[in-house]
Amino acid sequence: MDTVTAMSPAETQERIDEFGAWFQNLELNGVQTAPQHFLGDYPAVKFAGFAHALPDDLTGKSVLDIGCNAGFYSLEMKRRGASRVLGVDFDERYLAQARFAAEVHGVDIEFRQLSVYDVGTLGEKFDLVIFMGVLYHLRHPLLALDLIREHVAKDLMLFQSMQRGSEDAMQVEADYDFWQTEMFARPDFPVMYFIEHKYAGDPTNWWIPNRACTEAMLRSSGFDIIAHPENEVFVCKVRAADNESDLTRATRQAKESLRAS
């Protein structure tokens, strides 16, 4: 049999179909994997809006793509010269698509089945963590951000979430009086909408933040936002160690108070 890079479009189409429905539209040997995506040529159209905000040259860098799906961002980062790219997703069907896509592109990318909640088992930190389009699929979004910050993020994180509500973000005060409540009625106060059943027909949509809430959660998990190239996308930098995350501080304080008691 031909190698996958030399497959005809007809053979490629057959293989693509064997993997079931694709979420990401990739072009493999001239064949599109999800030409009917409801967001258009996704995620290529999305990427076009923020590609400039990432380093052009990733030579020598390591990348972890969490919720990698069919590997669109993993492939893009490999194209920018990353020496090591690891894509993880908890869905084995998407990982099979990603492995096939990497094979067609003739690039060496590792894809592994892993939930974001288990990133601590990797025992490795990455120069760039990609966490795109996953947060709102989680019942425990802040835990995921804390775990990423704690265990795998060394320098940069590319982040995206679906957002709803106000696109403005108010300046949040360090504290509020118990009787002060008017800010809760402001649309630009950090808020996350809980989806008990489904949103857009999808029961895996759990929490949808407004922009202020996205920014507040990223800050609270120990990330500084260094670029906001489009509404849903944030480029973050791991905050310096002397400025510990809220999780680290809470853990340290709990331990200190246990020791003191």
Q: Give, in order, the Cα–Cα distances in Å from 131 to each of 67, 69, 89.
A: 7, 11, 11
- Contact letters (x/-) for ligand SAM, 136-155, by CB under 6 A? -xx-----------------
- Residue 42 and residue 138: Cα distance in Å, rounded? 21
Q: Binding to ligand SAM by residue 161, rule CB under 6 A?
A: no
Complex with ligand SAM: residue 162 or 225, whichever CB lies closer = 162
Per rule CB under 6 A, is residue 133 in the interface with ligand SAM? yes
**Near ligand SAM in 55-84, by CB under 6 A:** 67, 69, 72
b or e along 39-77 (b: 16 or more beta carbons within 10 Å of the residue's beta carbon)?
A: eebbbbebbeebeeebeeebeebbbbbbbbbbbbbbbbb
Task: Report the alpha-carbon angle 76-109-103, nearest 5.
Answer: 90
| Residue choice 13, 55, 80, 115 for contact with ligand SAM (CB under 6 A) | 115
Question: Whole-angstrom Cα distance, residue 190 to residue 210?
Answer: 7
Q: Is 90 in the site for ligand SAM (CB under 6 A)?
A: yes
Write phi, then psi, for 126 (nearest 5 degrees).
-120, 145
* Chosen residue from 4, 12, 16, 24 binding ligand SAM by CB under 6 A: 24
Comparing CB distances to ligand SAM, the nearer of 73 and 189 is 73
User: Shortest gap between Cβ of 174 and ligand SAM (angstroms)?
Assistant: 32
Q: Out of 91, 150, 244, 246, which residue is the one contacting ligand SAM (CB under 6 A)?
A: 91
Shortest separation between residue 71's beta carbon and ligand SAM, angstroms: 9
Q: In angstroms, what is the minimal distance from the CB of 222 to ligand SAM?
A: 20
